[in-house]
Amino acid sequence: MSMLKVEDINVYYGSIHAIKGISFEVNEGEIVTLIGANGAGKSTTLNTVAGLLKPHTGSIEFEGSSVLGLPAHKVVNKGIALCPEGRRIFLQLTVQENLEMGAYTRPGSEISASISDVYDRFPRLKERYRQVAGTLSGGEQQMLAMGRALMSKPKLMMLDEPSMGLAPILVEQIFNIITELNKAGTTILLVEQNAQMALSVAHRAYVLETGRIVTTGTGAELLHNDAVRKAYLGG
């Protein structure tokens, strides 16, 4: 069943036509990845779905109802969370305070249980719950950004470049967490520069080039697609 359906969206930054009529969908229970070079439009796509950018034309439906034009906090209320590029955690707040900020749309009575769930999934954060977020390592900050997004209890979690700037061992750890989240019932839309890792965990994938979708297929198909390997996998 289609959870997210994006049809023919066009997005502009001033006179720059960043997204050129793309259409794609994410089915319930899937990991879907968008891959492409820097500037292809991947982050712009996620930000548009999240309500941070408004498309010039097109439609965005989530669970059968339009989320087009909704302010970002209402999109979160619908069950879509964005873990943004560069993590964007609150550097001056503690780990626990960052998590509480992620639950701003939730009833106060549910927050404590959700924090416990995040700490079960990220034991490192539990150990550092009183630590100021700006003093965490890059990997810990990424875990915190993901934990904060989970605090809204999303049905669809969008991850923008979760492995950026991380050591290979941490990249593997973050991708293990992504697959665990998916197995536990969270649908994932993933934007990732590390195409090899992204395609290895994705059920389906779309390749973006200069604001257009040029190739689509299962993760396995694109891992073995000669053009994709040459362009994005160094093969």
The whole-angstrom separation of Cα 193 and Cα 171 is: 12
The whole-angstrom separation of Cα 2 and Cα 136 is: 37
The whole-angstrom separation of Cα 166 and Cα 171 is: 6
- pTM of the full structure: 0.92
The whole-angstrom separation of Cα 145 and Cα 140 is: 9
Tens-digit pLDDT profile for residues 193-206: 899 999 999 999 99
Tens-digit pLDDT profile for residues 129-150: 999 998 999 889 999 999 999 9
| Residue-level length of the chain | 235
Return the DSSP state at 6: E
